[in-house]
Homo-oligomer: A and B are copies of this chain.
Amino acid sequence: MPANDRPRDHAGQGAATTVAAHRARRRLRADRARQLADLLRRQILTGAYQDGGTLPHESILATDYRASRNTVRQALDLLRAEGLVDRLPGVGTVVVARKYPHGLDRLMGLAETLREHGRVTNEVRTMGPAPAPVPVAERLRVPAGADVLYIERLRRLNGLPLSLDVTYIPLDIGASLLGADLENTDVFRLLEAITGRPLGHAEITLEAVNADAHSAAVLQAPRGAAVLMLERLTHLADGRPVDLEFIRFRGDRITMSGLLHRS
């Protein structure tokens, strides 16, 4: 383990026993591998290596990042476990997955935000009126038990499953969606066309959850795969809430990016 393979630790380990020192070394290598994996992930996501291209050889990464070969291998193993790269004998480490950036700065539908990355299509798995459960009715400001339009869609980018979306819409607006081209059009765009008014704002909540078996199967992801879950209540410009969604994005295919300001 070369001395330059780790930040100089301010704790010091002079008095450590052999076992403790061994544990500490192992811990430090795992920390360094994660640290390196994060930097390489960033490079992959921002396209520093071509899609389908190969990463530099382990020895070059070791030199560039002042890391040991073992640390480099462990970092590449982490990225392989995330499904971002694969390691092919005789070829090297190949980028096998791409994550698409969903904007966090402006309220946008999926097809809108991913326009430059390809075509979004929607498989409507269920659609129809259904009585609004209390928490849905409260948020959409309709009477509890009143029918709302319920939609469940599997959304794909260039044919690859991206997200599983559950949508509730007040029926006075939703009824017009029943005959609309939901397969090829964002609900946002349809809502603006139906109401003749622009959308205003949305309250969003993001979480990371492990996919349950059924959601994983629908998304064609491994059971337990990390899912970026977005709950979003969208309002028309006049403030009326018109669209409550629960969206499960495949964690290995979507990132959310934006700008935050201090004041």
Contacts and interface: CB of A to CB of B under 8 A. Distances in A.
Interface residues of A, number: 86
A212 B78 contact: yes
Interface in A190-234: 198-210, 212, 214-215, 224-229, 231-232
A67 to B, nearest CB: 9
A220 B232 CA distance: 30
A184 interface: no
Copies of this protein in the complex: 2
A249 B207 CA distance: 10
A146 B113 CA distance: 37
Nearest to A11: B126
Interface of A: 4, 6-11, 27-28, 30-31, 33-36, 38-39, 42-43, 45, 48, 64-66, 78, 81-82, 99, 101, 104-107, 125-131, 133-136, 150, 152, 166, 178, 198-210, 212, 214-215, 224-229, 231-232, 237, 246, 249, 251, 254-263
